[in-house]
Chain A
């Protein structure tokens, strides 16, 4: 049932996965800032160490972002799928929470992000 080419394909996909994982997460550290974009445009930059709530209202959509104890999470979203809310808390540099229906993106930036390895 399984052919040799299947195994090669599996290994190929696993390698792509491993390489992209390394490229993306390999040299990240705890971030220092939270960047929020709406439809690709910068909405605001916030300090990750400062506890606060940010309510994003746009085009009749509402999202609530909470920064607490050095981690950021999407507390509320009026979107249907709730993927963003279920993503949970993030704190490492270049991690992100995305709410596709409302086009809201929350990214952790800064920290000791190692630019030399890029």
Chain B
């Protein structure tokens, strides 16, 4: 199969997988002590995509997932939050990965934190009230923990999946 076709097919599969994860989380909420916080299983797919493909493809997968899930399940307002969080998070992860100084856990950790920061910024703008930033400490901690968990899961997945799965050379 030509390289471009293979990449396209992979993006489609990963986007579908990310949507399924988003759907599962929307339908079966995992009980966490603090309201409004979830694990973000879909981000597992995004981190895998960032490491096995590249930033461009991961971004395409992420934006596709958020748009479809937003229209079908969560609604337009939730979509705006997700979009801001998702894009800011992924740009940060892409940037940190490029420096080559951070492991996948560190990259994912920063991604988790920035995901919540992005959502908070949009929330503050939408409610036009900067008291929203009262939630910053809670959201920082939550992003940190979920980011680390997703990072560890991504590391385990990338090291145990067969090497040729994503077209060979990219997987380390």
B128-146: CB near A (< 8 Å → 1, else 0) gives 1101111111001100100
Q: Which of the residues B77, B81, B103, B133 comes within 8 Å of A3, measured between beta carbons? A: B103
A30-52: CB near B (< 8 Å → 1, else 0) gives 00000001011000000000000
Whether B106 sits at the interface, judged by CB under 8 Å, is: yes
For A107, the chain B residues whose CB sits under 8 A away are: 131
Chain B interface SS verdict (over half): helix
Residue total for B at the interface (Cβ-Cβ under 8 A): 32
Flag if B105 contacts A20 (CB, 8 Å).
no
Kindly report which residue of chain A lies nearest to residue B122, judged by CB atoms.
Answer: A100
Flag if B106 contacts A6 (CB, 8 Å).
yes
18 A-B contacts (beta carbon < 8 Å) = A5-B99, A5-B102, A10-B106, A13-B140, A13-B144, A17-B136, A17-B141, A21-B137, A24-B134, A24-B136, A39-B128, A40-B127, A81-B36, A81-B78, A87-B35, A100-B126, A103-B127, A105-B131
A residues lining the B interface (CB < 8 Å): 1-3, 5-6, 9-10, 13-14, 16-17, 20-21, 24-25, 37, 39-40, 80-83, 86-87, 94-96, 98, 100-101, 103, 105, 107
B residues lining the A interface (CB < 8 Å): 35-36, 75, 77-78, 81, 99, 101-106, 109-110, 113, 123, 126-129, 131-137, 140-141, 144, 155
